[in-house]
């Protein structure tokens, strides 16, 4: 069966002010203990989920965090070797991604990662403006990012994603254009552009709720910045294949696409989530509990077996994130019932509102629907 693998490395050099991901600084002893626990989980996962040796066709591996690039290459090698032992051998077509913070992306490190078989990098730029980088609490500056990107090319990486953020406090179209101009100069293969979300429990939540909210772009300004990104990047030849993602032809993220298409994936590591046998599960986010877990003792904290209704809902709101939308024939093949039979009235209502288009076999968001995406998605909850 097709299968993706996500590996969570929760460590970072310093947590950014907006970040609500499961991540924190750690010493070498804790990193070593974590990797050993992760190897035990990898060992036991196949049996736990009933995956037979040689049955899984691994399309992608994504090592995220945190900042997995802050782990010593020796640890990354151990993780990849264990994955290869259990689920390999991987083909040359397997997409293997690791996230890198520019501050830890020196040439020697990047060459080492390339030699391990990692063939895709995801580099967190966020902004090319020094004041915005300081505002976000990033540990790199513009020049460190450029050096990291150029070193990645020198190390042999021909598939590089760059993350940027919009709707930052005080951000203007002119400031955003500075970031977009740097992307034009460096020409990464893939770009992810995310609007800032103020998450509870972060320093940004304390800074930008209440009176501080006035410092954030208005909803109208946020959408203007979004379309500035879209128009600029499509003008440079990038395909806008998902709400927040742009790629040169052939460089669409296979791993993220598998999420949107509901392809099964293993989630390994602290707090990682997965989808196996139509069950969504989440590992414990308590480090002590995770370190005690082994192949025999499950690290899973939550699990939900998806009903047919759940699967239909996910098919719609995940599929509509992609520009290609949802295939009506695929929906029928998956569920034995037509899309119109389940959602006919809602489809016509949304089309009349100009939020979706229906063209031959496909249902997809219009530009207006993209602006009101969360509303559209909510209409497919049964």
Q: What is the pLDDT of residues 63-84, one digit of tens each?
A: 999 999 999 999 999 999 999 9
The structure tokens listed for 194 are 């995310």
* CATH 1.10.10.920 is held by the domain 308-378: yes
Q: Is 195 exposed, middle or buried (0-12, 13-18, 19+ CB in 10 A)?
A: middle
* Each residue's pLDDT tens digit, 339-360: 999 999 999 999 999 999 999 9
Q: Cα separation of 382 and 380, whole Å?
A: 6
| CB of 123 closer than 8 Å to CB of 152 | yes
Q: Cα separation of 111 and 124, whole Å?
A: 18
Average pLDDT over residues 251-260: 97
* Each residue's pLDDT tens digit, 210-232: 888 989 999 999 999 999 999 99
Q: Where are the domains of the chain?
A: 2-260, 308-378
Long-range contacts of 20-25 (CB under 8 A, 24+ apart): 20/199, 20/200, 20/201, 20/202, 21/65, 21/66, 22/66, 22/270, 22/271, 22/285, 23/65, 23/66, 23/67
What is the third-level CATH fold of 2-260?
A: TIM Barrel (3.20.20)
- Phi, psi torsion values for 18, nearest 5 degrees: -100, -10
- Give residue 297's pLDDT band: very low, low, confident or very high (50, 70, 90): low
Q: Cα separation of 326 and 358, whole Å?
A: 10
* Each residue's pLDDT tens digit, 300-336: 999 999 999 999 999 999 999 999 999 999 999 999 9
pLDDT given at position 29: 93
| CATH topology match: 2-260 vs 308-378 | no
- Phi, psi torsion values for 106, nearest 5 degrees: -75, 160
pLDDT given at position 92: 85
């Amino acid at each position: 069966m097709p299968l993706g693998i996500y590996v969570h490395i929760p460590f970072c050099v310093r947590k950014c002010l907006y970040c609500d991901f499961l991540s924190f600084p750690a010493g070498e002893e804790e990193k070593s203990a974590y990797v050993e626990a992760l190897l035990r989980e990898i060992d036991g996962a196949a049996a736990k989920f009933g995956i037979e040796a040689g049955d899984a066709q691994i399309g992608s591996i994504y090592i995220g965090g945190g900042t997995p690039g802050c782990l010593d290459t020796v640890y990354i090698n151990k993780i990849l070797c264990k994955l290869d032992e259990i689920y390999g051998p991987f083909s040359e077509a397997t997409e293997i991604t690791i996230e890198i913070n520019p501050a830890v992306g020196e040439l020697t490190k990047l060459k080492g990662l390339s030699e391990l078989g990692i063939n895709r990098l995801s580099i967190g730029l966020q902004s090319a403006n020094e004041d915005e980088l300081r505002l976000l609490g990033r540990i790199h500056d513009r020049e460190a990012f450029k050096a990291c990107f150029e070193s990645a090319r020198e190390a042999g990486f021909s598939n590089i994603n760059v993350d940027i953020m919009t709707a930052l406090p005080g951000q203007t179209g002119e400031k955003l254009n500075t970031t977009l101009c740097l992307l034009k100069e460096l020409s990464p293969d893939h770009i992810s552009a995310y609007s800032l979300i103020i998450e509870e429990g972060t320093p940004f939540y304390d800074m930008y709720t209440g009176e501080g909210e006035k410092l954030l772009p208005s909803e109208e300004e946020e959408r203007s910045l979004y379309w500035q990104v879209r128009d600029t990047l499509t003008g440079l030849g990038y395909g806008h294949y998902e709400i927040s993602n742009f790629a040169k032809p052939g460089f669409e993220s296979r791993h993220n696409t598998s999420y949107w298409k509901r392809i099964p994936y293993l989630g390994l590591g602290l707090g990682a989530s997965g989808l196996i046998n139509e069950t969504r599960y989440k590992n414990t986010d308590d480090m002590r509990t995770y370190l005690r877990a082994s192949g025999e003792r499950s690290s899973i904290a939550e699990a939900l077996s998806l009903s047919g209704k759940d699967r239909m809902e996910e098919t719609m709101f995940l599929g509509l994130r992609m520009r290609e939308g949802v295939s009506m024939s695929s929906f029928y093949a998956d569920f034995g019932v037509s899309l119109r039979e389940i959602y006919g009235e809602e489809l016509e209502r949304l089309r009349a509102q100009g939020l979706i288009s229906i063209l031959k076999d496909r249902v997809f968001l219009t530009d207006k629907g993209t602006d009101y995406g969360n509303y559209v998605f909510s209409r497919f909850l049964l």
